[in-house]
Amino acid sequence: MKAFFLPSIKLTIILIVLLAGIYPLAIAGIGKFTPGNGDGETVTYKGRVVGFANIGQKFTKDKYFSSRPSAANYQADASAGTNKGPSNPDYLKTVSAAIDTFLKHNPTVTRSQIPAELVTSSGSGLDPDLSPAGAQIQVARIAKVRNISADKINSLIAANTEKPLLGLFGPAKVNVLKLNVALDELK
Amino acid sequence: MNTEYIGIIFMYLATVALAIPLGKYIAKVFKGEHTWLDFMAPVERFIFKIAGIDPNREMNWKQHLKALLTINVIWLFYAFFCLLFQSHLPLNPDGNPSQSPDLAFNTALSFVTNTNLQDYSGESLATYFTQHFVFMFLHFVSAATGLAAMMVVFKAMKDKITDKLGNFWDFFLKSITRVLLPISFVVAVILAFNGTPTSYKGKAVVIGLQGDTVHVSRGPVAAMVAIKQVGSNGGGWFGVNSAHPLENPNYLTNIVEDISIILIPIALVFALGYYLNKRKLAWVVFGVMTIGFLAMLYPSVNAEVGGNPAIAHMGISQPGGSMEGKEVRFGAAASAFWGITTTVTSNGSVNSMHDSMMPVSGMAQMFDMMINAFYGGVGVGFLNFYIFIIIAVFISGLMVGRTPEFMGRKIEAREMKIASLIALLHPFVILVGTAISTYVLVHFANAAWATKPSAWLNNPGFHGFSEMLYQYASSAANNGSGYAGLTANNIFWNVSTGLVIFISRFLPIIGPVAIAGILANKKFVPESAGTLKTDTGTFGVMVLAVIVIVAALSFFPALTLGPIAEHFSIK
C-alpha cells in the first residue's frame, strides 16, 4: 500500500484543482454569456424584478392564475415534494379537500373538468408551469374578478403557451408567473 | 400525450445512436490508438510528472486493487473532514452549518462510492465549497474508479496468459481527461444556456408579483449537474435533484440529462465489443440488458400515464397521468422514463418524486436496483453483468456436459466461489437491512432516540415498507435515489445504509477484478467444437435466466410485501 500512498495524495490534489477549480470556473465564465448571465433568468414588471422565470410562485388571490399546490409552499430555498404514496389515506383526503377548495373558488367548473395537476403537488414544490388546460379552467373566475372578457384571457393563455420542443417532444405548458404578469399588464 | 411518447422514444434511440460511436471511441482510447482528444496527452503527462507516477508500469490485478483502494480511502477521509467542518471553510455565502458526524459519515461514503444517497438537502446542509470540492470532485473520480476497474477486466479478457494488466493510474486518469470531463463540459454548457445557474452568488431575495418575499437558492449548479448525470452519480445540487426547475429547467435539458444517465453505460457495452474485437458478444450483452430495461420501462410508463385510480375515483380528470410529485414541463411519460433509466444504471438522480409514483413503477425501480446490471453504472454495471456471465457459463457448461470456458479460460471452483459470493451478497445486504429496520420499527417504535422509529416513515402500510426496502436496495446498488419520504438523516439510517453502501461498492469491484485476474493467468484454450459459444442468442437467454433465477427470485417475497401488495390494495 505504501508505494501507492504518496502518488495517490499528489494525484488527488492535482485533480481537485482541475475538477473542482478550473472546470467550474470555465463553465462560470461561459455562463456570463447566457440569458440571465448565469445568475438565473428574471421576470420584470413595471421595471421591478418580480421573480425568476424558472421558479414557481404562490398565487393566493383570485385575480391571478393559481399555481399548483406545493409541499415547499413555494419557498425557493427549501425545495420539496410531499412524498406521499398513491394509496396513503391521509394524502387522498388532502387531494379531496383541494378539489373542494378549487370548486369553491371556481363555481362554474364541474368536477370532471379539473386536471389532476391543480390538486396534486409537484416534485420540487417550485413547479413554474401549468398545462394549458390547467390555466384555461381558471379563466371564468379571473374574468369575473377582473371584469374583462374571457376571450381576452384565453388569447393571453394562447400567447403564453410554450409548445412541445420542436413541436414534437414533451408536453405543452404555460409559465404561471409570466402569464400573471401579462394579465397585470393588460390594464 | 403523443408528444410525450415521442419524447421518450426519441431519448432512447438518440442514446443508442450516440453510444455506438462513443463505445468505439472509448475502446480506441484504452487501446492507445489515436483519437481527436490526443491534445490532452501533454496535460496527462504533466499530471503524472507532478504526481510522480509512471503510467507505463504494468500492474497485476492485486496491484490494481491496492492502488484503487488506497486512493479511495484517502478520498473518504478528505470528504468526511470537509463535511464535518464545512461551516468554517470558504465559499459558504448562505452561512450553512456543518454536517453532524453520522451524516458526514454517510455522505462521505455515499459520494466516494458513486452512490450519492443524500440524507441532507443541498440548499441547507452543503456549502458551495463542499458541493464542488467534495461532491463534484468525487463525482468525477468515483466514476473514473469504476471505469478503471472495468478496464482491468477488459484487458484481462483480451490478452493471452498474462500478469500485465495495464496501469491503474493510466486507466483512471484517461477516464477523466478523455471521457468524463469532455462530455460533462458539453452538457454543462447546454444546461447553462437553458437557465441553469453558473455563478457563485448566494441566495437571491425577490419580492414576488403578489408581494410575498422569496429567497431563491442558487449557485454554480450547471458544472456539477453535468457530471452527476454523466458519471452515474446522481447526487444533485438541490434537495429535489433534477426535479428542481433550476437544476433541470426545460424539456430539452431533461432530454440531455436523461441521455447522459445511460449514455456511457450503454457505450461501454459496445466498447467491450470493439476492445475485444468481439462485436457479436457485445450485441448479445446489449440485447439481454435491453430486454430487461424495456420489460421494466413499459409497465412503469403505462402506470404513470394511466394515473392514480384512487384519484380517478374522486371524479376529476387525469389527462397528464399521475401528477403527484411530478413536474408539468416533463409530464408523466418522461418522469417514468427517467425513473427507469436512473435505476437500471446506478445513477439515482430523479426528476420526480419516486415515493409518490404508482406501485408498479416502484416495483420496477426496485427490481432494476436489485438486478443492478441492465446497463448498470459507469464501469461497475459491466462488472456486475460479468458475474452473471461467469455463473451462466458454469451452469450451461454443466447442463450440456462441456467444460465451462469463457474467453478461452476454464472456469473452476475458485472463480465460481467468488462469483456466487458476490451474486448473493446483494440480496443478503438488502434483505437483512430491511428485516432489521422493520424489526426495530415494530419493536422499538417509541425508543427514546433523536428520531423515534415511529417517525421514520412518511406513509403507512405497504408503502411504508417499500420506503425501507427501497432505501436498502438503493444503497446496495450504489444508486442513491430514494423514497424521499423516509426520514433518513438520523443515526440508524445514516450508519446502516453507510455500511451497506461501503460493502456493496468495494466487494463487487474486487470480485470481478480478481476473477478476471485469475482467469488471465490460466492456460489459454483455443476455441474448438467442444467450446460453449458465448456470443449467441441461446447464451443470452441463459444469462437472462440466471439473472431471473438468482436475483429476481430472492427478492420476490420482499416485493410482494411492498409494491405488489400496494398495487392490489389501490381501488
Tell me if chain A has a CB within 8 Å of the CB of B222: yes
* φ, ψ of residue B235 in degrees (nearest 5): -80, 110
Contacts of A125 in chain B (CB under 8 A): 240
Number of domains in chain A: 2
Question: In this predicted structure, what is the pLDDT of residue A1?
Answer: 61
Are residues A90 and A21 located together in one domain of the fold?
no
| Nearest CB to B47 within list A14, A82, A88 | A14
Question: Whole-angstrom Cα distance, residue A103 to residue A114?
Answer: 9
Residue A148 distance to chain B (closest CA, Å): 20
How far B89 CA sits from the closest chain A CA (Å)?
A: 15
Chain B touched by A74 (CB under 8 Å) = yes
Instruction: Tell me, yes or no, whether A71 and A136 share the same domain.
Output: yes
| β strands within B278-320, DSSP E | none
Please tell me the distance from the alpha carbon of residue B154 to that of residue B422, in angstroms, as a whole number.
19
Point out the residue among A52, A79, A115 whose CB comes nearest to the CB of B317.
Answer: A115
- Distance CA(A106)–CA(A100), nearest Å, equals 10
Distances (CA, A) of B155 to B150, B178, B265, B275: 9, 18, 18, 9
Single out the residue of B169, B163, B150 nearest to residue B60, CA to CA: B163
**Does residue A49 form part of some domain?**
no
Beta strand B409-410 with B204-207: parallel, antiparallel or unpaired? unpaired
Query: Quick count: other Cβ atoms within 10 Å of Cβ A168?
Result: 12
d(CA B333, CA B1): 8
Pull the grid cell for residue A181: 404578469
A51:B209 CB<8 A? yes
Long-range CB contacts (within 8 A, 24+) of B86-92: B86/B126, B86/B127, B86/B129, B86/B130, B87/B127, B89/B127, B89/B129, B89/B130, B90/B129, B91/B127, B91/B128, B91/B129, B91/B132, B91/B200, B92/B127, B92/B128, B92/B129
The pLDDT value recorded for residue A144 is 94
Chains A, B: CB contacts within 8 A come to 376
A9 to chain B: which residues are within 8 Å by CB?
74
Of residues A39, A57, A170, nearest to B4 (C-beta): A170
With an 8 Å Cβ cutoff, is B414 touching chain A? no
Q: A60 in contact with B at a CB cutoff of 8 Å?
A: yes
Pick from B195, B199, B201: nearest CA to B94: B201
Contact A45 B133 (CB under 8 A): no
Q: How far is B419 from chain A (nearest CA, A)?
A: 26
Parallel, antiparallel or unpaired: strands A48-52 and B409-410 = unpaired
Among the partner-chain residues B208, B317, B324, the one whose CB lies closest to the CB of A113 is: B317
Same domain, A12 and A80: no
Q: Are residues A58 and A103 in the same domain?
A: yes
| Spatial contact of B322 and B309, defined as CB atoms under 8 Å apart | no
B232, B343 Cβ separation under 8 angstroms: no
Task: Assess contact for B377 and B478: CB atoms under 8 A.
Answer: yes
Whether B463 and A12 lie within 8 Å, measured CB to CB: no
DSSP string, B338-359: HHHHHHHSS----SS-GGGS-H
Instruction: Say how many C-beta atoms besides its own lie within 10 A of residue B527's C-beta.
Output: 11
Grid cell at residue B407? 474467453
B160: three-class secondary structure by DSSP:
coil
- pLDDT tens for residues A129-163? 999 999 999 999 999 999 999 999 999 999 999 99
SS3 state of residue B113: coil
Q: A81 with A141, same domain?
A: yes
Which residues does chain A have with pLDDT short of 50?
none
Q: How far apart are CA B140 and CA A101, in angstroms?
A: 48
Q: Is residue A135 part of a domain?
A: yes
Whether residue A106 sits in one domain with residue A35: no
Same domain, A31 and A63: no
- Walk along chain B (571 residues) in steps of 10 and give the mean pLDDT of each run: 90 96 96 90 93 91 94 95 93 91 93 90 90 95 94 86 87 95 96 94 91 92 95 91 95 96 94 93 94 95 94 91 94 95 93 95 94 87 91 89 85 92 94 96 90 91 94 93 90 93 93 92 82 87 91 89 94 76
Domain that holds residue B102: 2-569
Asked if residue A120 and residue A31 are part of one domain, the reply reads no
**Residues B400, B26: Cα–Cα separation, whole Å:** 36
pTM above 0.80, yes or no: yes
- Beta strands B405-406 and A48-52 are unpaired
The answer to whether B128 and B359 have CB atoms below 8 angstroms apart is: no
User: For residue B346, which of B332, B361, B365 has the smallest C-alpha distance?
Assistant: B365
Task: Determine contact, residues A12/B74, Cβ cutoff 8 Å.
Answer: yes
Q: Would you state the cell numbers that stand for residue B440, as one nine-digit string?
A: 426495530
Q: How many domains does chain B have?
A: 1
Residue numbers of the domain that contains A169: 54-185
Do A24 and A150 touch, CB atoms closer than 8 A? no
Please check whether residue B91 is in contact with residue B66, taking contact to mean a CB–CB distance below 8 angstroms.
no
| A13 and A78 fall within a common domain | no
Long-range contacts of B303-306, Cβ-Cβ distance < 8 Å, separation of 24 or more: B303/B336, B303/B357, B303/B358, B303/B359, B303/B360, B303/B361, B304/B332, B304/B333, B304/B335, B304/B336, B304/B357, B304/B358, B304/B361, B305/B1, B305/B4, B305/B332, B305/B333, B305/B336, B306/B358
Residues B477, B429 contacting (CB under 8 angstroms):
no
Q: How far apart are CA B149 and CA B66, in angstroms?
A: 12
Look up residue B320 and give its DSSP letter. Answer: T
For an interface test with B, give the residue of A43, A59, A62, A79 to mutate (most B CBs within 10 A). Answer: A79
Distance between CA atoms of residues B350 and B335, nearest Å = 8
